[in-house]
């Protein structure tokens, strides 16, 4: 499925790209693309981008990854215009999310690949299903916060246990507990919604939670 | 302990981004619950990155097989054609994103039970629950032809009538427990059944599963005509 926008991209980008690869050959550098020093150099550049928003360092990264992303895009998306969209989307994320890069977790190439694959996944669904959804970063999170660590699980289990008794609370307390734990509202948002002072929210929450805990302590639960 | 894992081919395909949305969600959710598979996917992602970035010359026919390893980073930006200079300039105008995405598990409530599920389900939980006795289902809208993906909740002491499937059925247990003739399952267990396996899952304490179905269910016990519509409804 082709759309008009991609067609115009195709015209705009098709020639310049082949001229780029030719000029790349003219400049020619002999370093093999996989060498250790290169991996370290990419990491150093990425850190400069992450820590100082260094534009020149990003320019190098852009020049290095652009043809690789484009080639991947051509394979998966089968269209010049879409491949260049993939370059733009991917490198934009590399720039705007640079601070999420964690050198301990992997190489720059792997990180850029991750962003590119996620973006490509969403673009493919866009082409195939005409869906403007963005699921790639949910499926493959870019930064590795706790992957459901023990603490969160226990915490959630406890919360879940507590919430079982929600219906036994008086309405005023139930509204507050429900708002905070199930609708994830802030105390201020709740105060506004219920038109009461925030102090009232705090005390209702405290009373509600105390009552829920007392239910847990009752034997024969 | 989780005993049932996706096989290695599936994990590698996932790292490469080659699975459909319904299956990618399943693997992602399994990895949020299974440290071993999470580590394996990280390893496969590195391999996939190497594959994608180092062999593209071979498939890149438009580049006339020019050796693109020449595009070393010391290739100066000034060599970029105008169109790419423009793209670069546009990107550099973008501000840093202030917020980091959250991978915190999400609370799901059904029939007054509360469960936490991996964050990958974040954008899919706005569908209504359909209830039939002890079984509740939330069907996702993933737009994948015949494939159907849903959350399935079975209340304590509930069961699903014995049935087989036309296509493969994937069950990922997210919370609680259930058992069938093959044994007991714990959260994280990733159970793939083909069209020949009969099963009748039961749960003592209740459970929440993510189910992916290729084809409608076909019940095999005597009341099949009566039960088939239920099968359609359940999943
Ligand atoms: Zn596993």
Q: Whole-number mean pLDDT of chain A?
A: 76
Task: Assess whether B218 and B116 both reside in one domain.
Answer: yes
Task: Assess whether B156 and B195 both reside in one domain.
Answer: yes
A16 touches chain B (CB under 8 A): yes
Residues of A in contact with B107 (CB under 8 A): 156, 159-160, 181-182
Q: Closest residue of B to A41, CA-based? A: B73
pLDDT tens, position by position, B29-88: 999 999 999 999 999 999 999 999 986 444 444 443 333 343 444 455 557 888 899 999
* Option in A61, A95, A113 nearest B49 (CB): A113
pLDDT tens, position by position, B222-234: 333 333 334 444 4
- Give the pLDDT confidence score for residue A189 in this predicted structure: 78
How far apart (Å, rounded) are the C-alpha atoms in residues B130 and B132?
7
Q: What is the mean pLDDT of residues B157-170?
A: 77
Hey, which residues 181-220 in chain A have their CB within 8 Å of chain B?
181-182
A to B CB pairs, distance under 8 Å: 225
Task: Assess whether B67 and B169 both reside in one domain.
Answer: no
Residue B202 has what DSSP assignment?
B
In chain B, how many domains are there?
2
Q: Which of B57, B92, B127 is the last residue of a domain?
A: B92
- Give the pLDDT confidence score for residue B165 in this predicted structure: 65
A164 touches chain B (CB under 8 A): yes
Q: Give the count of beta carbons closer than 10 Å to the beta carbon of residue A132.
A: 8
- Give the pLDDT confidence score for residue B132 in this predicted structure: 83
Q: Helix, strand, or coil here: B155?
A: coil
Query: Burial, A67: exposed, middle or buried (Cβ in 10 Å; 0-12, 13-18, 19+)?
Result: buried
Task: Assess whether B27 and B140 both reside in one domain.
Answer: no
Inside any domain, residue B129: yes
Q: Count Cα atoms within 13 angstroms, Cβ side, for B25.
A: 29
Which domains does chain A show, CATH number per domain?
9-139 (1.10.1740.10), 150-209 (1.10.10.10)
Q: List B159's β-bridge partners, or say none.
A: B202
Task: Assess whether B85 and B15 both reside in one domain.
Answer: yes
pLDDT tens, position by position, A170-213: 888 888 877 776 666 677 778 888 888 888 888 888 888 778 77
Q: Closest residue of B to A11, CA-based? A: B83
Q: Rg of chain B's alpha carbons, rounded to an integer?
A: 23
* Reported confidence tier of residue A55, pLDDT bands at 50, 70, 90: very high
Inside any domain, residue B1: no
The percentage of residues in chain A with a pLDDT greater than 70, rounded to a whole number, is 69
Min mean pLDDT across A79-83, B165-169, B186-190 is at B165-169
Q: List B211's β-bridge partners, or say none.
A: B150, B171
- Residue range(s) defining the domain that contains residue B66: 8-92
Note residues around ion ligand 1 (Cβ under 5 angstroms). Answer: B 5, 34, 37
- Give the pLDDT confidence score for residue B227 in this predicted structure: 38
Confidence check: pLDDT of B178 > 60: yes
Q: What is the CATH number of the domain that holds B222?
A: 2.60.120.10
Inside any domain, residue B128: yes
Confidence check: pLDDT of A10 > 50: no
Confidence check: pLDDT of A88 > 90: yes
Inside any domain, residue B169: yes
Task: Assess whether B59 and B126 both reside in one domain.
Answer: no
């Amino acid at each position: 499925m082709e759309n008009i926008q991609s067609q115009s991209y195709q015209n705009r980008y098709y020639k310049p790209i082949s001229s780029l690869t030719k000029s790349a050959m003219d400049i020619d550098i002999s370093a093999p693309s996989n060498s250790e020093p290169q991996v370290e150099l990419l990491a150093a550049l990425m850190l400069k981008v992450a820590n100082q928003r260094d534009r020149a360092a990003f320019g190098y990264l852009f020049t290095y990854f652009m043809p690789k992303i484009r080639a991947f895009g051509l394979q998966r998306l089968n269209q010049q215009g879409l491949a260049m969209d993939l370059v733009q989307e991917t490198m934009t994320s590399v720039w705007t999310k640079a601070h999420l890069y964690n050198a301990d977790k992997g190489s720059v190439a792997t990180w850029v690949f991750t962003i590119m694959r996620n973006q490509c996944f969403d673009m493919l669904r866009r082409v195939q299903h005409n869906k403007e959804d963005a699921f790639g970063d949910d499926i493959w999170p870019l930064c590795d916060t706790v992957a459901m660590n023990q603490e969160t699980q226990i915490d959630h289990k406890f919360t879940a246990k507590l919430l079982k008794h929600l219906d036994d609370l008086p309405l005023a307390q139930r509204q507050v507990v429900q708002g905070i734990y199930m609708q994830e509202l802030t105390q201020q948002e709740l105060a506004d919604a219920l038109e009461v002072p925030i102090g009232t929210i705090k005390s209702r929450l405290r009373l509600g939670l105390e009552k829920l805990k007392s239910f847990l302590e009752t034997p024969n639960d | 302990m989780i005993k049932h894992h996706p096989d290695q081919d599936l994990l590698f395909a996932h790292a490469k981004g080659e699975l459909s949305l319904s299956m990618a969600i399943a693997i992602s959710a399994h990895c949020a619950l299974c440290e071993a598979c999470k580590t394996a996917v990280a390893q496969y992602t590195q391999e996939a990155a190497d594959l994608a970035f180092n062999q593209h010359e071979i498939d890149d026919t438009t580049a006339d097989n020019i050796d693109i390893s020449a595009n070393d980073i010391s290739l100066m930006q000034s060599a970029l054609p105008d169109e790419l200079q423009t793209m670069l300039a546009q990107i550099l105008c973008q501000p840093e994103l202030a917020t980091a995405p959250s991978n915190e598990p999400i609370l799901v409530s059904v029939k007054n039970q509360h469960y936490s599920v991996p964050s990958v389900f974040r954008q899919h939980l706005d569908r209504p629950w359909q209830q039939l006795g002890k079984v509740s289902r939330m069907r996702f809208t993933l737009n994948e032809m015949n494939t159907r993906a849903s959350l399935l909740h079975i209340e304590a002491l509930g069961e699903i009538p014995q049935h087989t499937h036309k296509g493969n059925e994937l069950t990922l247990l997210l919370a609680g427990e259930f058992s069938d003739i093959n044994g007991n399952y714990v959260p994280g267990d990733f159970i793939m059944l083909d069209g020949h396996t009969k099963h009748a899952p039961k749960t003592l304490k209740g459970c929440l599963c993510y189910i992916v179905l290729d084809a409608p269910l076909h019940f095999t016990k005597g009341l099949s005509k009566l039960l088939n519509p239920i099968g359609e409804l359940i999943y």
